[in-house]
Amino acid sequence: MTSNKKNVRETAMELLTTIEKNQSYSNLLLNSTIEKNKIAPIDVGLLTELTYGTIQRRMALDYFLKPFIKNPKKLENWVLQLLRLTLYQMIYLDKIPDRAAIFEAVEIAKKRGHKGISGMVNGVLRSIQREGIPSLEEVADPVERLSIETSHPMWLVIRWVNQFGFDKTKQMCETNLTAPLQTARVNLTKTSIRECIEDLDEEGFHIEKSPVIPEAIRSLKGNLAHSRAFKNGLITIQDESSMLVSYALGAQENETVLDACAAPGGKSTHIAEQMQNTGKVISLDLHDHKVKLINDNAERLGLKNIKTFTMDSRKAGEEFEEESFDRILLDAPCSGLGVLRRKPDIKYTKKEQDVYQLSTIQQNLLESVGVLVKKGGILVYSTCTVDKEENETTVKGFLAKHPEFEPDVSFKTRMPEAVQPLITDEFLQIYPQDFGSDGFFIAVLRKKV
């Protein structure tokens, strides 16, 4: 084993320790670590796999480790992360031999701790290698077994089973353990799909057209953020579910549109592109540094019809006149339970009460922006979560208080064909297992004339 490989495992262990201690977002911390430590491109894949994989499977790994650890409370956090990380390799990664994974773990333990720690790490891992891991079949309750097996907290699995049934929940939990595909939206104001794919193929990427969204592509090999196409504003990295929002909104040329919670600008720029760089897209966000991201993206893509403001959308009524927007998008702050493949740490930090607190914020935001929609105009409410409280219940609560709004059933005809069968009861709830994208919810409301 090269010292570089050892470095990758040690880096992964440090990342895992920091993420758990500071409740940091794994995706942001991983990217900054890769840049800061100048991790070789050849090792980025392994580092990503080890970090995400260990977080994704944390509850199962702890279940497997439990019989082999005498005093878990006395274990320093980095030692626990090292054991989880090594066990993850032994159980889930075929390409790494057990003896190599154990050897590396013991070497790291020697370097980081005293002799007793490296002896304990060696002992625990050798015992697991010899005796095998305990069977999940010993967990009698199927819901509890699903919770441990797929490492989703019990409260969440119970909640989903009650809302969506056991089978759908099982599919969702299993899909959440798989790596997401990177997808991007082609900027049709600058290039065509065919030209863009040819450019990327020439650069060494392996690209296919999205079977879901007409202007989207999927990268089967290579990080599109490092492509010339990205730098030159030909593409925006965005999940396919997220791209559906602009279709639901259906903005036309020369309209005035509000994107109420807009950063980092993926949806604002999509709307602006669909409007062919005409009209006006007003994009709001609470934080200056996030508004800068919207501006940077608009500039990169060559879009001149986006205007940004740093503002709490709950105060938008103080800045803009009533009924002054043709269409409004409220992509509301949410629990993010639809993006657990990209941000696996969320499932351990979110609590059930967060869902109810967020629902109150979402209701307040809808109240604030609803008055700004013109008569006959469209209000789209979307979230990247899979929970009825934040989705249907929030929208139905708003409609009950605001008879001037009604569901816009015609939005189905605006949506890409592949998605139309998923639209039920005037809403669109996408599950991660539907077409491998993020879990997402979209409701389209029209203000009566």
φ, ψ (nearest 5 deg) of residue 429 = -110, 115
Catalytic residue among 173, 196, 334, 384: 384
Question: From the CB of residue 115, how many other CB atoms can be counted at a distance below 10 Å?
Answer: 9
Alpha carbons 14 and 78: distance in angstroms, whole number:
7
For residues 27 and 55, is the Cβ–Cβ distance under 8 A? no
Structure tokens at 224: 């599109």
For residues 205 and 224, is the Cβ–Cβ distance under 8 A? yes
- Find the length of the chain: 449
Lookup result for tokens 């991007």: 184
Confirm whether 384 is a catalytic residue: yes
Question: From the CB of residue 294, how many other CB atoms can be counted at a distance below 10 Å?
Answer: 26
- Catalytic residue positions, numbered: 384
